[in-house]
Amino acid sequence: MRVGVTYDLRAEYLAQGYGEEETAEFDSEVTIAGICEALLALGHSPVCIGGVRRLTECLAAGERWDCVFNICEGLKGVAREAQVPALLEAFDIAYVFSDPLTLSLALDKAMAKHIVCACGVPTPAFGVVETLDDIDAIDLPFPLFVKPVAEGSGKGVGANSKVTTTEELARAAADLIERFRQPVLVERFLPGREFTIGITGTGRDAEALGVMEVLWTENAGAHGYGYENKEYYEGKMEYRIVDDAEAREAAKVAVAAWRVLRCRDGGRVDIRSDANGCPNFIEVNPLAGLNPEKSDLVFLIRFLGLSYIDLIARIMASFLKRHPGLAAKGS
């Protein structure tokens, strides 16, 4: 198959003057090369496209592909991850990973939590601060954890994310609203273990690849797996595959949330346990990082003895099961 690949190249945005944290979700040349090499190894013909504007230009010029492998995060708005799949749907082009509704819901952490909570998936109690006047309505016991409502890659999470007083909450919320120009998610702080679960498949076929525990060293920044700890993890973070009873329960919670939010093909779910060791849904990443060198999902599959090509193959197998016509066409 001729497979278009859509992505936001981080280097291009840095060259335009955007900052390191602003571009944290975007991809490197290493990631795009890794994906294309894996698709080639699986018998496909990858074609690099780029971001939503370049995709628009290609479509307007009449260019088409059998399908698109979409990892485009977008730049502006709470629906930014939905822009490429929405455009592809308008042109009736099949694409890998989740649809516009799921991507918009997942990016807005509060909306995702509303949905999973209504469907019986455990998640810490939470509220949303759109302006500082909303703080008076937050009726949750301290300590609390605050972060931007619609960011990924740990953006906005750091040493000030855990708050223990109303004054600290107000300062942290004011800072995040000013920096990110969006509401702030406020949730009960969970002191237990932190897991990330890799998932492939769609609907009933979705399954956990494995459970990776995220551990802090004494050099890590405090309170949360934030941007600094994710981006510069060496010497700060440790990762290990776990398969004890709590980890298996975390996998069940992750798969339940994945299915409730109708995520597709592959991604990652973050889980944290409460003081009693009960795993809770924190957030889902239906466009998980695929950097062959330093993405959590890639760490996880390698710890399990799988290769990068194995991961892309599982993702493509899920996609092709949803599109049997393309599967029949083959490579």
The CATH number given to whatever domain includes residue 42 is 3.40.50.20
Same domain? 221 vs 265: yes
Burial class of residue 306 in the structure, from the number of CB atoms within 10 Å of its CB (0-12 exposed, 13-18 middle, 19+ buried)? middle
Would you state the pLDDT for residue 220?
63
269 in a structural domain: yes
Would you state the pLDDT for residue 168?
97
Q: Per residue of the chain (331 residues), what is the pLDDT tens digit? A: 999 999 999 999 999 999 888 888 899 999 999 999 999 999 999 999 999 999 999 999 999 999 999 999 999 888 999 999 999 999 999 999 999 999 999 999 999 999 999 999 999 999 999 999 999 999 999 999 999 999 987 888 988 999 999 999 999 999 999 999 999 999 999 999 999 999 999 999 999 999 999 998 766 665 566 556 555 556 778 999 999 999 999 999 999 999 999 999 999 999 999 999 999 999 999 999 999 998 999 999 999 999 999 999 999 999 999 999 997 775 5
β-pairing verdict for 184-188 and 126-129: antiparallel
Peptide bond into 85 cis (omega under 30): no
322/327 Cα distance (integer angstroms): 9
Domain span holding position 284: 191-322
Would you state the pLDDT for residue 228?
61
Judge whether 71 and 97 are in contact, CB under 8 Å. yes
Strand partners, 3: 46, 67
- C-alpha triplet 275, 270, 68: angle, nearest 5°: 170
Would you state the pLDDT for residue 234?
64
Same domain? 74 vs 165: no
How far is Cα of residue 203 from the mean position of the Cα atoms in its chain?
A: 18
Same domain? 197 vs 317: yes
Same domain? 275 vs 218: yes
Give the chain's domain count: 3
Same domain? 159 vs 86: no
The DSSP H or E segment spanning 228 is: helix 227-231
18-45 burial, b at 16+ Cβ within 10 Å, e below that, comes to eeebbbbbbbbeebbebbbebbeebebe
Would you state the pLDDT for residue 221?
62
Strand partners, 162: 145
Would you state the pLDDT for residue 20?
85
Same domain? 181 vs 260: no
Q: Assign residue 162 the CATH number of its domain.
A: 3.30.1490.20
Helix, strand, or coil (residue 100): helix
Helix, strand, or coil (residue 92): coil
The DSSP H or E segment spanning 53 is: helix 52-60
> Which pair of structure tokens corresponds to residue 5?
């690949």
77/59 Cα distance (integer angstroms): 22
The amino acid that residue 60 corresponds to is A
Residue from 75, 71, 157, 142 nearest 109 by CA: 157
158 in a structural domain: yes
pTM: 0.93
Same domain? 198 vs 250: yes
Would you state the pLDDT for residue 198?
98
Same domain? 14 vs 85: yes
106 in a structural domain: no
Same domain? 52 vs 149: no
